[in-house]
Amino acid sequence: MTQTPAPFPERPAADRPDYLQRLNPEQRAAIETTDGPLLVLAGAGTGKTRVLTTRFAHILLSGRARPYQILAVTFTNKAAREMRERIGALLGEPVEGLWLGTFHALCARMLRRHAEYVGLGSGFTILDTDDQLRLLKQVIEPLRIDTKRWPPQGILGVIQRWKDRGLTPERVTPAEDCDFAGGQCRPIYATYQARLVQLNACDFGDLMLHVTEILRTRPDVLAQYHRLFRYILVDEYQDTNTIQYLWLRLLAQREGQPANICCVGDDDQSIYSWRGAEVENILRFERDFPGAAVVRLERNYRSTAQILGAASGLIAHNDGRLGKTLRPGREDASGEKVRVASVWDSDDEARLVGEEVERLRAGGHSLAEIAILVRAGFQTRAFEERLITLGLPYRVVGGLRFYERSEIRDAMAYMRVLNQPADDLAFERIINVPRRGIGAAAMQKFHVAAREGQMPLAAAVMDLIARGALKGRAREQMTALMACLARGREALPREGHVVVVETLLEESGYIDMWKADTSPEAPGRLDNLKELVRALADFESLGGFLEHVALVMENEENAGAERLSIMTLHGAKGLEFDTVFLPGWEEGVFPSQRTLDEGGLKGLEEERRLAYVGITRARHRAVISHAASRRIYGNWQSAIPSRFIEELPAEHVTTTGGAAQARSRTFGHAPLSSTAFPVMARRPRVTDVGEKGPTAAMAVGTRVFHQKFGYGTISSVEGNRLEVAFEKAGPKRVLDTFVEKIP
DNA sequence: TTATTTCAATTTTTT
DNA sequence: ATTGAAATAA
């Protein structure tokens, strides 16, 4: 393993251009080591984005490459946008013609140029998840697969994972074919791909897969990109999957020239293995690119020493790390310790967080600098309810996004059919929305006609109308719909896409459908449709708009409002806040039981990295909490504190709350002054009922009472953790503090 | 063809 | 408890 380079000699400041000022030696090394492979291990809060953007600017300003000769890859559109803005700021002007974007956006751009090599036209459509599923269902329908046992989503998952690994249908070996769908996944995959080509469409995975396949099989195309890209920059390298790795390696390894690839990442923040990311990619970097330099960014400028100490101590429990230790960047006061609060249940937890937030706000803290980071979506509800009663403005980040709403997808489908009459999947989506009396039977008829006539669905419908094979209301409605679309297409060059789409949505009856809808969401949906038409005006053409939406499923709204954020730990990666609440640190919730079951030790380590990501989001304050009981799927479950709590180094942690006081690690310093934690308020007054838990001998066979589960008998004891056979609730694991001995 | 009922699943998510 | 999708009745 390569060592962090020795400190670099300080050159006189005057020698260095402006943009290289005020960087630490490691950051400067990461920027000035321009040629040859370079791995930058950037711990949380160590100035990663700054290094990436400055490196980009440095390559340009030192004359090593023109803007279009640098390939800069990110995972999210947000990261790409931020990078573009910051490069523009460094250079003093916006730069044009950059190859800067997400893996998928860059691949889409490449694939439009070379689509014919994989049997597509350059005007191919990019399908969303709905379309993918609909198409797959069509493919598996004749196979009479038991969709109970093998849900289409699962099959799609298998295909997606193959694509993540760079496996085209031909490359999937029989051994690779899992027993999913009765071992029929391989032929299903092949048919699915063939159908996509017929539709002149591809899914997200295909963007990477097709381009990589082209680069693999067309040396001329590959050479063209080798000549073009002199430098490659990759963000969040620990999140790359196999296909992304293959794509990068193909582009980076040039005959007789150094691989000028710089990957920035942090193995400790790899939290996406479940969607195909391979941490091995970053662990293997030095073997993949011989002679690679490695720079470690370990000076953290974000968090207090206490927070860093807690996070470092926790992550140290993982094996197989590349090894980094975050050091406080500034020697300021060490700050507050990380707090661990024990509460009774999720309502208590929400109350505690709410009170703390109110206190912070009273102390002049901005709500925008506070976040509640949960493991899973179901945890948000208790907080939302509490924040509403307190009148605290909040936002749940990562709910349904604009372009995922059904009315927007419907409207988009109308546009797609307008844009490409052969877009069967879009046509199928709108054909009976609003209701036009087309059910399964009619649909079947259309499909048969389309297959027999070797034509798109829409054309088949026209044909059936012309031949009089359609009767009654269906005929009327279909004639009207087709006329609508035809009028729109004809008017497009004259009236412009905005007006035409607006008219189409009106005349097709789609708008009226929502106007007639009396449900409370309907007005909001109409507003969304207005907003969609407005967004349409920002684009030159319909095609341009559709491409944008397919790749950038984002809405840029309500930023900067004075609200606190509730989001998942995954959603919080890359963000930072003054104060971070980390609720639900209980075995089964965090670490998640499912991850443990499915991923074993690997899964546990990923959960631990998630915990590490959570803590390192905090600049000044981190409050971890765990509840003693939690209602999951309608019934109460007892909960034991997460093992991650015990793994936090004691010297960086303070503990509050009743249950915690029973823990051996707490040396009796009960924070009685803390009015912020009126925890355990709803615990029974134990002295009235029986002896208090921790002081009483808890032996196997002891009869106990539990607030939520009722009466039961202890069946095993493990320190302060009991297993109790409850009379009504069955066997549960509980902490001794939450039961009372029955005399 | 649509409305109703039952039934199961229920982490994390970008593009 | 809640929700969404598939089976079944009107």
Task: Give the pLDDT mean for A116-136.
Answer: 90
User: What does pTM read for this prediction?
Assistant: 0.85
Contact A401, A556 (CB under 8 A): no
Q: What is the pLDDT of residue A458?
A: 93
Q: With cut-offs at 50, 70 and 90, classify the pLDDT of residue A686.
A: very low
Say whether pLDDT at A195 is over 70: yes
Nearest nucleotide to A126 by CA–C1' distance? Answer: B15
Residue partners of A372: CB distance under 8 A and separation at least 6: A353, A380, A383, A564, A565, A566, A567, A580, A581, A583
Tokens of A61: 């300003």
Q: How confident is the model at residue A675 (pLDDT cuts 50, 70, 90)?
A: very low
Strand nucleotide closest to residue A633 (CA to C1'): C1
Alpha-carbon gap, residue A722 to A700, rounded angstroms: 9
**What proportion of chain A, given as a percentage, has pLDDT over 70?**
90
Q: Closest nucleotide to A552's CA, by C1' atom?
A: B15
From A28-32, A569-573, A582-586, A660-664, the region with the lowest mean pLDDT: A660-664
Tell me: is residue A44 an annotated ligand-binding position. yes
Higher pLDDT, A331 or A711: A711
Cis bond upstream, residue A649 (ω within 30): no
CA distances A568 to A74, A314, A397, Å, are: 21, 19, 8
The whole-number pLDDT of residue A281 equals 93
Nucleotide nearest to A550 (CA to C1'): B15
pLDDT digits (tens, 9 = 90+) for A448-459: 899 899 999 999
Q: Is A45 annotated as a binding residue?
A: yes
Residue range A428-436: mean pLDDT, rounded = 88
Q: Which nucleotide is nearest, taking the CA of residue A632 and each C1'?
A: C1
How many of the other CB atoms lie within 10 Å of CB of A719? Answer: 11
Higher pLDDT pick, A716 / A669 = A716
Q: How confident is the model at residue A397 (pLDDT cuts 50, 70, 90)?
A: confident
Average pLDDT score over chain A: 85
Which residues on adjacent β-strands are paired with residue A568?
A374
Q: What's the start-to-end Cα distance of chain A, in Å?
A: 62
pLDDT at A493: 93
* Closest C-alpha to A708, from A676, A743, A735: A735
Residue A138: the pLDDT is 85
Confidence band of A332 (pLDDT split at 50, 70, 90): low
| Buried-state track A708-718, b at ≥16 Cβ within 10 A, e below 16 | bbeebebeebe
pLDDT given for residue A617 in this prediction:
96
* Interatomic CA–C1' length for residue A140 and nucleotide B8, angstroms: 22
Considering only CA atoms, which of A662, A657, A647 is closest in space to residue A698? Answer: A662
Query: Residue A220 pLDDT more than 90?
Result: yes
- What single-letter DSSP state applies at residue A641? B
Active site residues of A: 48-49, 235-236, 269, 617
pLDDT (0 to 100) of residue A22: 83
List all residues 6 or more positions away from A244 whose beta carbon is below 8 Å from its beta carbon.
A103, A208
CB A298, CB A43: distance < 8 Å: yes
Protein-covered nucleotides on strand C (Cβ within 7 A) = 1-2, 6-7
In A5-138 the beta strands, taken as DSSP E runs, fall at: 38-42, 70-74, 99-102, 125-126
**Residue A9: its pLDDT value, please?**
46
For A463-491, the pLDDT digits (tens) are 999 998 888 888 888 999 999 999 999 99
Average of per-residue pLDDT across A490-514? 93
For residue A414, pLDDT beyond 80: yes
d(CA A420, CA A415): 8
DSSP string, A175-242: GG--SGGGGTHHHHHHHHHHHHHHTTEE-HHHHHHHHHHHHHH-HHHHHHHHHH-SEEEESSGGG-BH
Q: Binding site annotation covers A627?
A: no
Interatomic separation, CA of residue A313 and C1' of nucleotide B4, rounded (Å): 56
A49 is in an annotated binding site: yes
* Range from A147-151, A176-180, A513-517 that averages highest in pLDDT: A513-517
| Cβ–Cβ < 8 Å for A557, A532 | no
Phi, psi of A357 (to 5 degrees): -65, -45
Flag the least confident range among A480-489, A555-564, A623-632. A555-564
Q: Tell me: pLDDT of A40 over 70.
A: yes
Domains, chain A, ordered by start: 13-102+215-297 (3.40.50.300), 125-199 (1.10.10.160), 338-393+557-685 (3.40.50.300), 406-523 (1.10.486.10), 694-741 (2.30.30)
How many whole angstroms separate alpha carbon A576 and alpha carbon A15? 34
Rounded distance between C-alpha atoms, residue A423 and residue A251, angstroms: 33
Nucleic strand B under 7 Å from the C-beta of A253: no
Q: Is the CB of A439 under 7 A from strand B?
A: yes
Dihedral sign computed on CA atoms, order A104, A107, A113, A119: negative
- In this model, does residue A569 exceed pLDDT 70? yes
Query: Which tokens is A339 given?
Result: 């707090």
Confidence of residue A44 (pLDDT cuts 50, 70, 90): very high
Q: Residue A523's pLDDT band (boundaries 50, 70, 90)?
A: confident
The predicted pLDDT at position A515 comes to 87
For A348-368, give the DSSP string. Answer: HHHHHHHHHHHHHHHTT--GG
Q: Is the pLDDT of residue A92 over 90?
A: no
Q: What is the pLDDT of residues A629-661, one digit of tens each?
A: 888 887 888 889 999 999 999 999 999 875 444
pLDDT for res A243: 96
Evaluate whether A353 touches A623 at the Cβ level (below 8 Å).
yes
Please check whether strand B approaches the CB of A377 to within 7 Å.
yes
Q: Is the pLDDT of residue A559 over 60?
A: no
With contact defined as beta carbons under 8 Å apart, do A542 and A533 qualify? no
**CB-based contact A166:A110 (threshold 8 Å):** no
Residues with CB under 7 A from strand C: A 147-148, 151-152, 633-634
Strand-pairing partners, residue A162, are none
Strand partners, A705: A711, A740
Q: How far is CA A432 from CA A42, A56, A410, in A?
A: 52, 50, 11
pLDDT digits (tens, 9 = 90+) for A223-256: 999 999 999 999 999 999 999 999 999 999 998 8
A104 touches strand B (CB under 7 A): yes
- Reference A630, options A341, A349, A340, A339; nearest CA is A349
CB of A592 lies under 7 Å from some atom of strand B? yes
Q: Please state the rounded mean pLDDT for residues A133-158.
A: 83
Assess whether pLDDT exceeds 90 at residue A149: no
Helix (H, G, I), strand (E, B) or coil at A294: strand
The predicted-structure confidence for A11-37, as pLDDT tens digits, reads as follows 455 567 777 788 889 999 999 999 999
A627 contact partners, CB below 8 Å, separation of at least 6: A342, A343, A344, A345, A346, A348, A349, A583, A584, A586, A639
**Chain A 445-484 contacts with nucleic strand B (CB below 7 A):** 474
A232 φ/ψ angles, rounded to the nearest 5 degrees: -125, 130
Phi and psi of A467, rounded to 5°? -85, 5
**pLDDT tier, A505 (very low <50, low <70, confident <90, very high otherwise):** very high
Q: What percentage of residues in chain A have a pLDDT greater than 90?
A: 53
Mean pLDDT of the region A390-416: 86
Of A347, A309, A354, A352, whose CA–CA distance to A327 is shortest? A309
Rounded to 5 degrees, φ, ψ at A123 are -95, 25
Contact A234, A261 (CB under 8 A): yes
pLDDT category at A691 given cuts 50, 70, 90 is: very low
Residue type, A491: A
pLDDT at A175: 78
Determine if strand B comes within 7 Å of the CB of A78. Answer: yes
Are the C-beta atoms of residues A103 and A208 closer than 8 Å to each other?
A: yes
